[in-house]
Amino acid sequence: MHPAFRVGEEAISVSLKLHESDAMTLAGTPIERIVIEIGRTAVLLRTSDHKLAKMLLDRYNGFVTPAENVAAEFEIESHDGGPISSEQEVSVRWKNDQWIIERGDFRVRWSPRRRAGTIRQAASPFATDSALRIVHSLVLASEGGFLLHAASAIRNGRAFLFAGASGAGKTTISSLAPSDVVLLSDEISYIRREGNTYRAYGTPFTGELGRNGENVSAPVEKLFFLVQASSNGEACVGRSEAVGKLLKNILFFSIETSLIERMFKTAVDFASCVPAKNLLFSPEPAIWNLIA
């Protein structure tokens, strides 16, 4: 890991192991305690399913931390017997001072005020992954940030975003990156507002590349919208067009009016701060000659 990349004021250097001090006992049942920190937002997961705990440690390699200051704590109850929710698509709603997040394989109840919640899910890290993506999207929305359906990478100390729907080429352009590029994600990018700039953070939310991003960050230099073509090139994108394209690629599931309005304002502000271009590319390493 390059020592120049920093997250907040402290360099990220975490090891993948569950210390004895992370084990605790609740009502006579051993509980595994795992803290996963993504984009400076730490989430504590507690589970008595030791097999699931091991899978989560493997899944979030590089993002497990001993941090004590967490944004949310969840008790996970794993379940193997059939669907957990009748919702086939993701449902995110606010009710009785808590978020209720559901899909067929998981149900989350989370109170941001108490920073506490529960997750009932299939005994799979993929269910946890989906739940965490939505929780992080809600945390970021309240802070002027967002999750973006985009690959992202750091080059020369600056971050570049490559947005596009499935099949646009996010994994392809990530796999073509030269050795001086630090990959943050080939699928879901984590964007935070910090002062007058936006920073991109590495995530474990992977696409076809199947490899976690580096747990580092850098200021966002440019946003590219991927356009597959027979040759490489750039085309300018106006601010209004950039906002529209950006909103199509932001991962956001809530139908709460206040958060939707805030997300729109965030997209407008981001497009005002970060230059956007269409990146025409063919699947060849030379595309990275345009990114510096």
Over residues 244-263, the pLDDT tens digits come to 999 999 999 888 899 999 99
Angle between helices 125-143 and 257-273 (to 10 degrees): 80
35: amino acid identity, one letter: V
Q: State how far the Cα of 10 lies from the Cα of 28, in Å rounded to an integer.
A: 37
Q: Which CATH class is domain 146-290?
A: alpha beta
| Rounded (5°) CA angle 165-255-225 | 20
Q: What is the mean pLDDT of the chain?
A: 87
Length of the chain: 292
Nearest to 118 by CA among 101, 136, 93: 101
Identify the burial level of 88 via C-beta atoms within 10 angstroms of its C-beta, where 0-12 means exposed, 13-18 middle and 19 or more buried.
exposed
Residue 34 confidence (pLDDT): 96
Using one digit for the tens of pLDDT, what is the confidence trace for 55-112? 999 999 999 999 889 999 999 998 877 677 777 788 999 999 999 999 988 999 999 9
User: Which residues pair with residue 159 across a beta bridge?
Assistant: 154, 220
Q: What is the pTM of this model?
A: 0.86
For the chain, give the longest Cα–Cα distance: 64
Residue the block writes with tokens 């978020």: 99
Tell whether the model's pLDDT for residue 214 goes beyond 60: yes
Rg over alpha carbons for the chain, rounded to the nearest Å, is 19
Q: State how far the Cα of 154 lies from the Cα of 274, in Å rounded to an integer.
A: 15
b/e per residue 99-117 (b: at least 16 CB within 10 A): bbbbbbbbbbbbebeeeeb
Domain ranges of the chain: 20-143, 146-290
Residue 31 confidence (pLDDT): 85
Distances (CA, A) of 84 to 19, 163, 253, 281: 31, 33, 19, 43
Please report, rounded to a whole number, the percentage of residues in the chain having pLDDT higher than 90: 73
Question: Please, how many CA atoms are within 13 Å of residue 121, restricted to the half-sphere of its CB?
Answer: 25
Tell whether the model's pLDDT for residue 1 goes beyond 60: no
CB neighbour list of residue 68: distance below 8 Å, 6 or more residues apart = none
Number of Cβ atoms within 10 Å of the Cβ of 174:
24
Q: Which two tokens stand for residue 187?
A: 């699928």
